[in-house]
Every structure is written in structure tokens, then in C-alpha cells.
Amino acid sequence: MPELITLERVSAGYGAAVVLEDISFALNEGDSLALLGRNGVGKTSLLVTLMGLTRLHSGSLRWSGADLARLPTWKRARVGLGWVPQERHMFPSLTVEEHLTVVARPGPWNLRKIYELFPRLQERRQNMGNALSGGEQQMLAIARALMTNPRILLLDEPMEGLAPIIVQELVRVLRRLVSEEGMTVIVVEQHARLALSLTARAIVLDRGRIVHESDSASLLADNAQLDRLVSVA
């Protein structure tokens, strides 16, 4: 069986500018990947390349063996790429529940299961999108992606700017998605140790290229290498 998603020698960017070079990796169903690196090295660009929002200069992107690069963004969402962008994009005039129901597609994830995963969203289900805290917005952004019943979840810095207690809650949710639900995920995170503790594999980017690839546990255990690869100093 082909891998769920395969990148082969992908170079991509914005217009003529190339910000990702020679990126190759593949994920099978149920894999979990931490995508790490310092600011501006191309992590978000890699996720948006999967969603079709950059210019693909060369290389190939395959989805269950088929050419993904041919599909516009909305079709990539429809075939099962669930993207949780950094900006969250809530609709101020929709309630929490409306955010979830407008995107719902058939599959194991439905309102009941979402509310079981995020009791806080159930409590807030009649609140408008603009009346939510940052943490609640992030929960809703993840919940909304799950309601599309994706085959892969692309999470762009889900913990960014959130209070420690909310980070803890999201860690519990992501751990359950990865370990119990077998969800395929790519997590971009500045909190490298946290992302490594949630995932099985890790890739580190520097200036648009892969500079390290290993299992997450061994990178987590190697403080010196981790500091060298991702620390700001």
C-alpha cells in the first residue's frame, strides 16, 4: 500500500523566492511527526505547501499514491488534509456549535465525540466565535478540523501564546489523538520538547532544508543535539 503522504525532493516558495529546498519524507497512516526548527526556517511554509498555498518549484507531492500537487486547496481539504492554521480564523458571527456543524463531514468525529474531547466547548457551545479566550479558540480550531474527519491533521504552533493550564489541556487532547485515536499528525511547535513528547518521529529544518531526521524519543534524550538544532542562542 502507498504511504498516506509522500514528499519527494520538494522545492517550494512564494513567487520566484524558494524557501523550501529538497524536502523528502513520507508518512503512513497513524504516524506522528514533530516539525521543528528556529523562527523563519520554513515550518509554516511546509504545512502551507501541503495545502497548496505556495508555488511548487520542483519535486512531487503524493497522497495515497496520487498526485496531490494537481489539487486546489479546497480539494486537499476534501480528500482529508485537516489544517489548523496559526491564526485560527474564527468567525465572529457564528456560535461555537455553528463553527463545528458547518464543516461537518461523515466519519467517526461528530459533535458528541468532539464535546467529549473538549468539555469546555460544550459549555461554550452557544458563545460567539469572538467571545472566546485564546485557548478556547485554539480548541475550536482543532475541533473544527476534526469535524471534517481528516486523514491527517496539520497543526501549526497549537500552543503558541497560551497559558500553561491551557497548554496542559491541549497536550492531553493531542496525546489522546495520537496514542488512542491513531490520528496521523504533523505538529509544528516552538516548544520542541513538548512536540517531541507527543510524536514518534521528528524532522528539523534549517533555512528551508531538512538538517535532522530521527525518532522523537532519541532527539528528546539528546539535550546537546536538541539545543544545537533548535535553541535560539
Ligand X SMILES: Nc1ncnc2c1ncn2[C@@H]1O[C@H](COP(=O)(O)OP(=O)(O)OP(=O)(O)O)[C@@H](O)[C@H]1O
Kindly tell me which of 19 and 132 has the beta carbon lying closer to ligand X.
19
Concatenated DSSP letters for 39-64? TTSSHHHHHHHHTT-SEEEEEEEEET
Residue 72 C-beta: closest distance to ligand X, Å: 18
Number of residues binding to ligand X, judged by CB under 6 A: 11
Q: CB under 6 A: which stretch of 26-34, 38-46, 116-124, 215-223 binds ligand X?
A: 38-46
Residue 170 C-beta: closest distance to ligand X, Å: 18
Residue 133 C-beta: closest distance to ligand X, Å: 22
Neighbour tally for 144: CB within 10 Å: 23
Distance CA 187, CA 185 (A): 6
Residue 12 C-beta: closest distance to ligand X, Å: 10
Does 43 participate in binding ligand X (rule CB under 6 A)? yes
CA-based nearest residue to 109, from 137, 76, 143, 138: 143
Q: What x/- string results for residues 8 through 27 when contact with ligand X is judged by CB under 6 A? A: ------x--x-x--------
Q: CB under 6 A: which stretch of 40-48, 62-70, 111-119, 161-169 binds ligand X?
A: 40-48
For 112-127, b/e burial (b = at least 16 CB within 10 A) is: eebbebbebbeebbee
Look at residue 225 and give its three-state secondary structure: helix
Does 39 participate in binding ligand X (rule CB under 6 A)? yes
Residue 35 C-beta: closest distance to ligand X, Å: 9
Neighbour tally for 17: CB within 10 Å: 10
Size of the chain, expressed as the number of residues it contains: 233
Question: Given the rule CB under 6 A, which residues bind ligand X?
Answer: 14, 17, 19, 37, 39-45
